[in-house]
Amino acid sequence: MLHPNIKFWRAVGILVGGTVGVGVFGLPYTFGQSGFSFGLLLLVVLGFAMVILNLMFGEIVLRTKEKHRLSGYAREYLGPELGKVSVYAFTATIWGAMLAYVIVGGSLLYTLLSPLIGGAEWMYATALSVLVLLVSRRGTVFASRLEAWVVAGILFIFFWVALAAAPHVELTNLLDPPSHMLAAYGVILFSLSGAGVIAELRDVLGAKQERLLPKVIIYAMGIIVLLYAMFTFAVLGAMGDAVTPSAVVGISTLLGANFGVIITLLGIATVFSVFLVHAVQMQNSFKLDVGVGARKAWLLSIGVPLVLYLLGARAFISTIGFVGAVLGGVVGIFIVITYESMRRSVVCRSHKCLQVPAWVSAVLIGMFALGILLELGSLVAVWIS
């Protein structure tokens, strides 16, 4: 009898859980703007690109003796100056993701509780942030124990929403002409970004099985792309023009109050868990990579996203689109140039390293750079108008 490789599948689950987050809630809305067919094509293309990017980072993790975070590897292979810039880029990216959690978590709490106790949406977002801040003092061990529950909750939401929405799907809803073909780019990139988890997978697999890391990445990213396609097909197909920026909120109105309450509760639990894991990771990064004291790191981890929210940064799609296209693009470029620097170093002269063709690296950098320019250009156009 064949027994499953528990470590392998646990690593796959961790990468799935570390990648999938609130970004998926914005996919149906942006696919509606891009056109479902083009959005699906973009999902497959970017999914393939992110597999290559994650394989590059996985190779960096495997071939480097010292254990680092993303910014630590950049500092080792690119030098202290670019390493410092990478710290800022990675910090801004995580803060951007946490801002999205504040927005969605506050919206879900408001939807659930405001009919009972009233209050403004910002109060619920603030309460969620403060609760995460307080619980984050429990540290990494407590946060890591939530990983399995996070993965289970996310998968349950996916399948339940997809199955519940399936009878309501009308294919005509998927054939609407696009209004903004590249609207889904930043949101998809945000939803597929999970390289920060890969360094953890080396420990999960152990020395005897770390060679399976590339296979873990391919399996996990394949699962993620399939889940995203299934979820988006079901929600957009059921709601059409009525689809909302946050799919969980919108689909609840279609499928009934009881369904809405359960999905909202699951959504809140998932957002809280992922938010908490990111908060702890941010605190550790501040302490280890920047040298910030424990108390200051604790306050900064959630304080900045919450302040941005209270100052008016509350547009969910715009936030994750910017974080994915601009900040995610910068991080992607850093990973590629770190990989290329490592490949030309003594590390890959003494070991057989993964050889991604140079033209592939150039294409990835060009794609990320173009996405950054287009997103910034669209923001400038909005400000001018």
80-125 pLDDT, tens digit per residue, is: 888 888 888 888 998 998 999 999 999 989 988 888 888 899 999 9
Closest among 172, 185, 178 to 320, alpha carbons compared = 185
pLDDT surpasses 90 at 54: yes
Residues 276, 187: Cα–Cα separation, whole Å: 21
Residue type, 253: T
Helix H or strand E segment including 95: helix 80-117
Query: Looking at residue 1, what is its pLDDT?
Result: 38
Cα dist. 234→192, 201, 228 in Å? 19, 32, 10
Q: Are 236 and 31 in contact (CB under 8 A)?
A: yes
Closest among 307, 302, 305 to 319, alpha carbons compared = 305
Residue entry with tokens 């410092």: 84
Average of pLDDT values for 278-302?
77
Query: Looking at residue 225, what is its pLDDT?
Result: 95
pLDDT surpasses 80 at 321: yes
What is the CATH T-level fold of the domain 6-380, as seen in this structure? Amino acid/polyamine transporter I (1.20.1740)
Average per-residue pLDDT for the chain: 85
Residues 138, 172: Cα–Cα separation, whole Å: 49
Return the axis-axis angle of helices 36-63 and 183-192, rounded to nearest 10°.
30
The pLDDT confidence band at residue 55, using thresholds 50, 70 and 90, is very high
Query: Looking at residue 364, what is its pLDDT?
Result: 96
**pTM of the shown model:** 0.89
pLDDT digits (tens, 9 = 90+) for 184-226: 999 999 999 888 788 878 878 887 888 889 999 999 999 999 9
Residues 84, 93: Cα–Cα separation, whole Å: 15
Cα dist. 204→12, 248, 315, 337, 371 in Å? 10, 32, 37, 26, 34
Average of pLDDT values for 338-355?
85
Q: How many residues does the chain have?
A: 385
pLDDT surpasses 50 at 2: no
Residue type, 17: G
The pLDDT confidence band at residue 136, using thresholds 50, 70 and 90, is confident
Please report, for the chain, the start and end positions of each structural domain, with discontinuous segments joined by +: 6-380
The pLDDT confidence band at residue 40, using thresholds 50, 70 and 90, is very high
Taken in order 254, 97, 188, 204, the sign of the CA dihedral is negative
Query: Looking at residue 177, what is its pLDDT?
Result: 80
Residues 339, 340, 341, 342, Cα dihedral to 10°: 50
| Alpha helices, DSSP H, located in 136-256 | 140-145, 147-165, 183-192, 198-205, 213-239, 247-255
Q: For the chain, what is the radius of gyration of the CA atoms?
A: 20
pLDDT surpasses 80 at 48: yes
Query: Looking at residue 122, what is its pLDDT?
Result: 93
Closest among 181, 167, 187, 144 to 21, alpha carbons compared = 187
Closest among 105, 119, 85, 34 to 319, alpha carbons compared = 105
Higher pLDDT, 225 or 272: 225
